[in-house]
C-alpha cells in the first residue's frame, strides 16, 4: 500500500518534499499553518501545530509523521508517540534541535568537539563567562531561534539584560565562546529508524546577517582528513541522538584547524539545497526515504561543484514572476527553485543551484542569476 | 501572478509535470479521466476530454492548456482557441501528431526524409504498395494508435482486411515501406510560442513488442554528422508544424546510414525520460517552460551517459512497494520514478534512470534495478 507521509508545517521545506514524493510514489499530506502557504499543493489540513487535537486529527490518516520545522511542542510529540504514531524524528531526538542547552549537554556527553559553553541565569554569570573567554561571548536563547534570531554577540553581562529579564523559573540562556573561525561548514547525514546511515560531502556555507546566503558543495580546499572528521562528527551525532530523517550539523572550522559544532537541525536544511540538483539523491528525497523507512539513496555529487545561492527578498510589487523569467532567460543552466512566497526584504523566497565543472563559473552564474531577482 | 497551467489527461506524463511545476512556481491543474489516476495530486477536475463543455469548465480557471496525450478531438481544441484560450500545442500543430496520414503529407511538403508511404483504401491498393516495396509493408491506422497498437507488418493486401472493413467514408490506412534499420533513435526539441527552440542530444531507443523498453542518452557510437542531421530534422519539423512545447521525433537509422522519420509526439515522451535525471533541464520542466512561455532551459547532459529502462508489468498482488524498496536497497544510485498505477502484464508502471560515466555500468544497473520489480 502507498505510504502516507504527514508533514507538520507548510513552509518551503514541506513544499520541496512534494516533487520527490511524487516520483517515489509516496502520498504526502501537509498540516499547514495557514491557507496559501508554500506547500499548499499537498496541504490536506490547516491548523495550529501546537494544539494536540488538531495534530491528532491530521495524523489519523497518515502512516508516518515528519516536520517542516522543529517547533512542535514536546508534549504534542510525546502524546502522538503514546498514541502509537510513527514520528520521525521522534521527540527524544528532536529535543536536541529544540533546546540548545540540552543539545550542548548531550554533545558534551558524546565527546563531540564544540565551543566552550555554559548556562547563564543572570548578567553576573554572563559577565564571568565573558571574563573567562577573552572579553566576548555569544548569547543564545535556547529555544525558538532561527536565521540569526535569538543570537547576540556580547561584550558585557548587561548586553543581554532584556533577555535575562524575560527568563522565568529555572530557565537560563546559553553562553558560548566567541570562536575565531576561518569559515563555516555543514555536514548532513540521513538515518533510517533501523540505523542505516548515509553522509553527504561536507559543504561550505556563507552566512550574511545570520542567514545562510550561499553554499558551495563540496567545501573547497578541504583535505581528506577534514572531510573524514566532519563525516565522523555527523554520524556520531546522528547515532548519539537517535535522529531519523535528515540531520544537518553546522560547523565552525577554526583558525587553528579544529572543527566545532555550532548548531543542529533535524530536517532538510538550507545547507543541503544544493543536493536537489547536485547529488544523486537530493536531501528532500533522502529525508522522505529515511522517515518512510525506505533504503537510503546515493549521496555522491553529480559534478565537481554545485553552488547554491538564496534569493533573499525581491520585488514587492508582485513582479517576482517577471524577474524569474528574466533570470531564466539570462542563465538557462541555473536551476531556480521558488517557494511561492510574497517577497519582503530579506525573506527567503527561493534559491538557485548551479552545477558545473568550474567553481568560479558556477559561483558567478549562481550569483548573477539571483541578482536578477533583487 | 502565478501562471496556471491546465493539463488535459491524468496519466504519468501529467504526473511527472507536478515536480517541476512546484519548483518553477507554476500552478498545475489536471483534468483527469478518472479518480485515482497517476496525476491525482494535481487533479482539479475529473471528466471526459472529448466533451467540449467539460473541457470548457476546466479551462475557465487556467491561463494555458497543454496535454498528457494527443487524443483531444480537433473540434474541442478549435472551440477552445475560438474562445480565446491559450492551447499549446495548438490544433494546427497537434493534427500532425493525431493523424499519421496528415503527418506524412506535411513531412513530404517540408522535405523531411521519411519512409516511402501511401494512403491505401482497400486490399488491392495495399497489395500494389507491397508489390512495389519488396513484398512487405507496415500498415497503420492513421489515428488512435500508440505503443504498437494500430501498427501491423503485412506481406499481402488481405493481411489488413479487418481494418479495411472498418473504414468509413473517405478514410484510408497508411502504408509505409518496411525500413531495414540498424537501430531506432529519437530527437527531442522544445519550442516556445515565439519560436525559441532548444534541442536535446539524439538518443537511442530500444523497442520490445512495439513498446519503448530502454533509452540510451546520448545515442552511443553516433558521429557528429548524424547528431547534427537529427537535430536539424527535429528543428525543421518543430518549426514546420508550429509545435509549442516538447516535440519527440522517432527516427530510423537505416542500414545504409540514412535517417528517416518514423513517428511524431507533441508532448513529453518516453524517449525523453532520461532527461529528468540526466540533463540540466528535464523534459517535463522544459515542456512547462515552453507552454507557459518561459525561457527554455539548458539541454546538456549532466554526465557522459544516462540509461532509462521502463518498468513494464510487476507483481499483481499489490506488492509493488516491496519490490520498490528492494530495488532501492540493491541500487542506491538508480533513480526510480513510479506512476502510481496497479501493475498488469506489460503495463508501464514506472521507469528507472541511471546516470554515470560508464555506459556498461549504467546499462547493467538500470536493467538490474528493473528486474527487481518483475
Per-position DSSP letters for A129-175, written without gaps between them = HHHHTTT-EEEE-SSS--TTTTEEEESSGGGGHHHHHH--TT--EEE
Rounded Cα distance between B74 and B172, Å, is 18
Rounded Cα distance between B28 and B289, Å, is 12
Lowest-confidence segment of A194-203, B119-128, B317-326 by average pLDDT: B317-326
Rounded Cα distance between B352 and B323, Å, is 13
Tens-digit pLDDT profile for residues B193-212: 999 999 999 999 999 888 88
Rounded Cα distance between B276 and A285, Å, is 14
Cβ-defined contact of A295 to B328 (cutoff 8 Å): yes
State the pLDDT at residue B324.
85
Rounded Cα distance between A172 and B346, Å, is 64
Evaluate whether A354 touches A330 at the Cβ level (below 8 Å): no
Which distant-in-sequence residues (6+ apart) come within 8 Å of A149 by Cβ?
A: A210
- CATH 3.30.1490.20 corresponds to the domain B116-176: yes
SS3 B70: coil
Cβ-defined contact of B318 to A1 (cutoff 8 Å): yes
State the pLDDT at residue B145.
65
Per the structure block, which three cell numbers stand in for B37? Answer: 489516476
State the pLDDT at residue A263.
95
Does position A334 have pLDDT exceeding 70, yes or no? yes
Task: Classify each residue of A350-372 as buried b or exposed e, where b means 16 or more C-beta atoms within 10 Å of its C-beta.
Answer: bbbbbbbeeeeebbebbebbbeb
- CATH 3.30.470.20 corresponds to the domain A181-371: yes
Mean per-residue pLDDT for A82-86? 97
Question: How many angstroms away from the CA of B191 is the closest CA of chain A?
Answer: 14
- A42 and chain B in contact, CB less than 8 A: yes
Cβ-defined contact of B19 to A18 (cutoff 8 Å): yes
Q: Tell whether residue B262 is among the known ligand binding residues.
A: yes
Does position B294 have pLDDT exceeding 70, yes or no? yes
Evaluate whether B71 touches B95 at the Cβ level (below 8 Å): no
Q: Tell whether residue B140 is among the known ligand binding residues.
A: yes
Ranges of H-type helices in chain A = 12-24, 52-59, 74-82, 91-98, 100-110, 123-132, 161-166, 224-241, 275-278, 283-291, 320-330, 359-371
Does position A211 have pLDDT exceeding 90, yes or no? no
Chain A residues lying within 8 Å of B329, measured CB to CB: 295
Rounded Cα distance between A47 and B358, Å, is 50
Does position A144 have pLDDT exceeding 80, yes or no? no
State the pLDDT at residue A194.
96
- Which CATH entry fits the domain spanning A4-87: 3.40.50.720, 3.40.50.20, 2.40.50.1040, 3.30.2350.10? 3.40.50.20
Give the pLDDT band (50/70/90) at residue A280: very high
Per the structure block, which three cell numbers stand in for B3? Answer: 501562471
**Chain B residue closest in CA terms to A319:** B1
Per the structure block, which three cell numbers stand in for A129? Answer: 563567562
Give every strand in the sheet of A137-140, ordered side by side: A117-120, A173-176, A137-140, A151-154
Chain A residues lying within 8 Å of B353, measured CB to CB: none
Does position A145 have pLDDT exceeding 80, yes or no? no
Evaluate whether A123 touches A164 at the Cβ level (below 8 Å): yes
Rounded Cα distance between A10 and A6, Å, is 11
Mean per-residue pLDDT for B264-281? 98
- B368 and chain A in contact, CB less than 8 A: no
State the pLDDT at residue A314.
80
Q: Tell whether residue A353 is among the known ligand binding residues.
A: no
Tens-digit pLDDT profile for residues B156-170: 999 999 999 999 888
Per-window interface: B 148-187 vs A, CB < 8 A: none
CA atoms within 13 A on the CB side of A288: 27
CA angle centred on B355, ends B350 and B357, rounded to 5°:
155
Evaluate whether A5 touches A292 at the Cβ level (below 8 Å): yes
Per-window interface: A 278-337 vs B, CB < 8 A: 280-281, 289, 294-298, 300, 302-303, 318, 321, 324-325, 328-329, 332-333, 335-337
- Out of B297, B324, B329, the one facing A332 most closely (by C-beta) is B297
Cβ-defined contact of A22 to B1 (cutoff 8 Å): no
Chain B residues lying within 8 Å of A318, measured CB to CB: 1
A19 φ/ψ angles, rounded to the nearest 5 degrees: -60, -55
Lowest-confidence segment of A274-288, A338-352, B20-34 by average pLDDT: A338-352
Cβ-defined contact of A2 to B325 (cutoff 8 Å): no
Per the structure block, which three cell numbers stand in for A138? Answer: 555569544
Helical pair B91-98 and B100-110, crossing angle rounded to 10 deg: 110
Identify the CA nearest to A91 among candidates A118, A67, A117, A107. Answer: A67
Identify the CA nearest to A160 among candidates A108, A193, A122. Answer: A122
Average pLDDT, chain A: 95
Q: How many helices (H) and strands (E) in chain B?
A: 12, 17
> What are the residue ranges of CATH 3.30.470.20 in chain B?
181-371
Lowest-confidence segment of A231-245, B19-33, B334-348 by average pLDDT: B334-348
CA angle centred on B19, ends B14 and B25, rounded to 5°:
105
Q: Tell whether residue B176 is among the known ligand binding residues.
A: yes
Evaluate whether B264 touches B248 at the Cβ level (below 8 Å): yes
Does position B320 have pLDDT exceeding 80, yes or no? no
State the pLDDT at residue B148.
67
Amino acid at each position: 500500500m502507498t505510504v502516507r507521509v504527514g508533514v507538520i508545517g507548510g513552509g518551503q521545506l514541506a513544499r520541496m518534499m512534494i516533487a520527490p514524493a511524487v516520483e517515489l510514489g509516496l502520498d504526502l499530506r501537509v498540516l499547514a499553518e495557514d491557507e496559501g502557504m508554500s506547500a499548499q499543493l499537498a496541504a490536506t489540513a490547516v491548523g495550529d501545530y501546537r494544539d494536540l487535537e488538531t495534530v491528532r486529527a491530521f495524523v489519523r490518516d497518515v502512516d508516518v509523521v515528519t516536520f517542516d520545522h522543529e517547533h512542535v511542542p514536546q508534549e504534542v510529540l510525546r502524546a502522538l508517540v503514546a498514541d502509537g504514531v510513527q514520528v520521525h524524528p521522534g521527540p527524544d531526538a528532536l529535543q536536541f534541535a529544540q533546546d540548545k542547552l540540552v543539545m550542548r549537554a548531550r554533545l558534551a556527553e558524546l565527546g563531540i568537539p564544540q565551543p566552550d559553553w555554559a548556562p547563564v541565569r543572570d548578567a553576573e554569570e554572563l559577565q564571568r563567562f565573558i571574563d573567562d573567554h577573552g572579553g566576548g561571548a555569544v548569547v543564545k536563547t535556547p529555544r525558538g531561534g532561527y536565521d540569526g534570531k535569538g543570537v547576540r554577540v556580547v561584550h558585557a553581562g548587561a548586553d543581554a539584560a532584556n533577555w535575562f529579564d524575560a527568563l522565568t523559573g529555572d530557565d537560563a540562556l546559553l553562553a558560548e565562546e566567541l570562536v575565531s573561525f576561518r569559515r563555516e561548514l555543514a555536514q548532513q547525514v540521513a538515518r533510517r529508524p533501523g540505523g542505516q546511515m548515509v553522509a553527504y560531502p561536507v559543504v561550505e556555507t556563507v552566512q550574511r546577517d545570520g542567514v545562510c546566503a550561499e553554499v558551495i558543495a563540496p567545501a573547497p580546499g578541504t583535505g581528506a582528513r577534514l572531510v573524514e572528521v566532519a563525516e565522523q562528527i555527523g554520524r556520531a551525532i546522528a547515532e548519539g541522538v537517535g535522529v531519523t530523517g535528515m540531520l544537518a550539523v553546522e560547523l565552525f572550522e577554526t583558525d587553528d584547524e579544529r572543527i566545532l559544532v555550532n548548531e543542529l537541525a533535524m530536517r532538510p536544511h538550507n545547507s543541503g539545497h544544493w543536493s536537489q540538483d547536485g547529488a544523486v539523491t537530493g536531501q528532500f528525497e533522502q529525508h522522505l526515504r529515511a522517515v518512510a523507512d525506505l533504503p537510503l539513496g546515493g549521496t555522491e555529487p553529480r559534478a565537481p561543484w554545485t553552488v547554491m545561492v538564496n534569493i533573499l527578498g525581491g520585488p514587492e510589487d508582485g513582479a517576482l514572476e517577471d524577474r524569474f523569467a528574466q533570470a531564466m532567460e539570462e542563465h538557462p543552466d541555473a536551476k531556480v527553485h521558488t517557494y511561492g512566497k510574497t517577497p519582503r526584504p530579506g525573506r527567503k523566497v527561493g534559491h538557485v543551484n548551479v552545477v558545473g565543472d568550474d567553481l568560479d563559473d558556477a559561483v558567478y552564474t549562481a550569483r548573477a542569476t539571483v541578482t536578477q531577482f533583487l
